[in-house]
Structure 1
Amino acid sequence: MIPVAYGEGVADRIGAAAPSGVDAFIDTFGHGYVELALALGVATDRIDTVADFAAAEKYGVKTDGGVAAGPGAGVLAELAGLIADGHLEVPIANVYPLARVREAYTELERRHTHGKIVLKP
C-alpha cells in the first residue's frame, strides 16, 4: 500500500503509485473523489464512499463502512494482525489528550491531516 496525499495533482500521484491501474477506491474525504475514482477507471461496484452520499446516489456507488455499518470484531482482528506483522501502516498525524478534544476536531476540520488523529483518555 502506498499512501497518496490529497489535494491538487492527486490523480497524477495515484497514477504514479498504481501504474497498472486502480482496482478499488475508498473515499473518506468527499469533494469530488467519487468522480476521481470514476475518471481513474474504477468500476462503480468497487467504489465506496463514507463522505459523499450525493455522489453515491448519483453514480450508484457503495456507502458501506459508515457509522452504522461498523467492521465487526473479525475484521478488526485481521487488521490488527496486519499492523502487528508490518503489512499495514496506520500513520498517526497527532495525539491529543481527551481534555483537548476541541483542538483535535479543529485539526480534523481543516481536512489536511496526513494520518489519523488519536484521542488519548
Structure 2
Amino acid sequence: MLDAIGPSREEALGARHILDHIANKWAVLILTVLCPEPARFNEIMRRLDGITHKALADALKRLERNGLIVRKVLPTSPVGVEYSITPLGLSLQRPFEALYEWALEYGSEVKRAQAEYDTDRN
C-alpha cells in the first residue's frame, strides 16, 4: 500500500514485475481491442497498425500466460483461433480507459513538453 513516503522496495519490485507484463504498449492496446468482444489474430493485427506478426504472437502468449486472455481453437476449416478477455483482464478496463482518456486530454501537452525539451538540448 502506498503511503506518504511511497512504496517500499519490495512493493515496488513486485508491482514492477506485474506492470512489465500488463502495461506495455501492445498489451494495453490488445486488451482494449478484446474488451468489447473476442477477436481473431488477423483482426487484432489489422486494428493495431504497426504491430508485427511476431510482436503480436509474443504479446498474446504473455497475456494468456498471465491469465488476462484465453485462446480458443475454433472448429472451422481451416482451423481458426479466437482470443477473448478473461474476467481478470476485464478488471483492467477502467484503469486502461482512464489512461487512454488521459492520453487524449494531455497528449498535446506531452508533445509540447517533448518539443521544448528537444529544442533546449540542441
TM-score tier, shorter chain, comes to under 0.3
Q: TM-score, normalised by structure 1?
A: 0.24
Larger of the two Rg values belongs to structure: 2
